[in-house]
Structure 1
């Protein structure tokens, strides 16, 4: 019918349910997209860019052994605390080492006088 405001079937409300189903399946199963870009000049490789993209739910990623966001201090507060704790321990050990050396250095200076 000319002048009808009816949308094509693929854009009607049912399509959002289909999109949700597709997204749920993708996140549940996971999708891997892999690509390499190589730039050569006279059979000399100048540049290689390797692209790896994984689209999956957090649970699926953990199941695959991918959990870098849990150990990245920029993304995880517990990783940030762990990193600060480790740095604090290193600094405490270093201070203890320096304090242990200080009496020896002072005794050495007294003996030289």
Structure 2
């Protein structure tokens, strides 16, 4: 049995369990969005924008969400890329210092 949204209905018969619901949510994805604003005398003091996406990795990639692949804190591949860029930059700086040292002994 399903609801109009297509999600299984939880009933007394136990036909749908948490794993089924989680599988459906991860397959389709769920987006929760909201804003919190704090105003004092029509002066905006604070705005917090909340966005939550719950989806499988494959579904997130289909939606164009893949920030974890470029975050050095979360991806060794991204960390290696960052270290490579830093290493190349340091090598260029050392070469420039050595060249200037040779010009002005």
Q: TM-score, normalised by structure 1?
A: 0.78
Look up the match of 1:27: 26
For residue 19 of structure 1, report the CA deviation from its aligned partner.
2.0
Asked if 1:47 is matched to 2:43, the reply is no
Look up the match of 1:3: none
Q: Which runs of 5+ in 2 are unaligned?
A: 1-10
Structure number with greater Rg is 1
For residue 39 of structure 1, report the CA deviation from its aligned partner.
0.2
Pairwise CA RMSD of aligned residues? 1.5
Runs of 4 or more above 3 Å deviation:
none
Q: TM-score, normalised by structure 2?
A: 0.84
Q: Residues of 2 paired with 1:24 and 1:100: CA distance?
A: 61
The within-5 A match list for 1:12-91 is 14=14, 17-91=16-90
The number of residues matched between the two structures is 95
Q: Residues of 2 paired with 1:56 and 1:18: CA distance?
A: 18
Q: Residues of 1 paired with 2:55 and 2:20: CA distance?
A: 14
For residue 18 of structure 1, report the CA deviation from its aligned partner.
2.8
